[in-house]
Structure 1
C-alpha cells in the first residue's frame, strides 16, 4: 500500500443533514489480487481522515506501510499479503486480520486492541471504511468497506476513511472502475483474495 499526502476535501454524496465536509489527509492504495493474479482495476484508493480520527488513521497507516514489530518479537506486522476474509453481498467486505487471516485475530500499534476514538463520522453510504471490532474499545487491525449505507453501525464502529476519494477528484472515471472492482470482489469467493502493500 502506498500513502500520499493530499489536501482534498470530500462531501458526502447523499444528502444527509449531519454529513460534514471532510479533509483527506492521506491516500492509501490497496493492490488487490485474485488467486495471486493482479487485476485490471485492482488498485483501490482509500482516503484517510487524519483530522477526525488521528489515532485510528496512524494505526491503519502504519499497517499499510512498513508495519511494526513488538518488543522482543522479530515478526513484522503489516497488511502485506493479508486476505479479504469476509464478504457479505450487498453489505460489506472485511479484511485486515494480519494474525490469523480469518477474522479472529487482533493487533495494533497500541497493543492487541485500542479504544474507540470517536463516532463523529457515520456509515453514510457505500465505500466508507470502518474499524471492525468485537464490541466497545476493541479495535485492532481489521477493517471493512461498505457496499451500501449502514447507519445501524453508527456509534459502534469508528469510520476513518472512504474508498476512491482521490479518484473522485482527480480521475473521475476511476471511481466507477474501482467501485466496479469492489462489486466484482463481492461476487467471488472470500478465500481467493489478498492485497499487498506496495
Structure 2
C-alpha cells in the first residue's frame, strides 16, 4: 500500500511539474516610479516556442529609440491580483504601440499557459492583433489561455513586479505616479548582469 501511495505521488508530481520552455535569450528592465528606483526585472524569452513574438519583444527591448522601443515607456495599466501591462511607446495610454513587423502581427502559439505568476504575454485587441503591448501576470490567469500568446517569464525581480502591483491607480487602472522603463537591454545567456542605469 505504501509503495502504491509513493508511485501515485510521483505520478501526480510529474503531471503538475511540466517543464517551462527553454529560455533562448534574456532582457532586463530597470524600472522607476516617479524619481524612485524600483529595481530590475530580468525576463527570459521562449524563442523556440514563439520566435516571431520573441524577436519583436527583444528588438523593442534593445532599441535606444524611444519612438520604436520600450526605453522610457510606461506601465499604463495595473490590476492587483491579475497583471501589470506596458509596451505602448507611441501613446502611453494603452491605445497605441506597434510591432517591428508593422502595426500588428498574428498570434503565434498558445502552447505555454498562463499557469503561474511571472508569465510574459502579449496584450491584444482580439485575435491576431499583437503589437508591442505586453503584460506580466501576478497570479495564474487560465482564462487567458488560447487568447494571449505567452512567450517568456520573469527570471529575476518578481518582487519588483509585486511592488508595481501595489501602486495607487486611477479608475482606468493607470498608476497615479508613472512607472517607467528607465533602461532596458539584452543580457548574456550566462546571466552576467548589465550595469544598472545611472538614471535610477
With normalisation by structure 2, the TM-score equals 0.77
1:58 equivalenced with 2:62 (yes/no): no
- 8 Å contact from structure 1 (residues 93, 144) kept in 2: yes
- Tell me what 2:45 maps to: 48
- Tell me what 2:179 maps to: 193
SS at match of 1:152: helix
The 3 A distance-change label for structure 1 pair 81 and 116 is: same
- Cα separation, 1, equivalents of 2:31 and 2:20: 29
Q: How does 1:1-198 map to 2 (within 5 A)?
A: 17=16, 19-39=18-38, 42-66=39-63, 76-164=67-155, 167=156, 178-189=157-168, 190=175, 191-195=177-181, 196-198=183-185
The 3 A distance-change label for structure 1 pair 28 and 35 is: same
The count of aligned residue pairs is: 165
SS at match of 1:23: coil
- 8 Å contact from structure 1 (residues 36, 194) kept in 2: no
SS at match of 2:21: strand
The 3 A distance-change label for structure 1 pair 50 and 21 is: same
- 8 Å contact from structure 2 (residues 27, 184) kept in 1: no
The alpha carbon displacement at 1:192 in A equals 2.0
SS at match of 2:54: helix
- Cα separation, 1, equivalents of 2:110 and 2:17: 12
The alpha carbon displacement at 1:16 in A equals 5.4
Moved over 4 A (4+): 14-18
CA deviations on 1:51-83 (whole Å, 9 max, x unpaired) are 110000000000001267xxxxxx840000000
CA deviations on 1:121-168 (whole Å, 9 max, x unpaired) are 11011000100000000000000000000011000000000002xx4x
The alpha carbon displacement at 1:15 in A equals 7.1
Gaps of 5+ in 2: 1-12, 169-174, 186-200
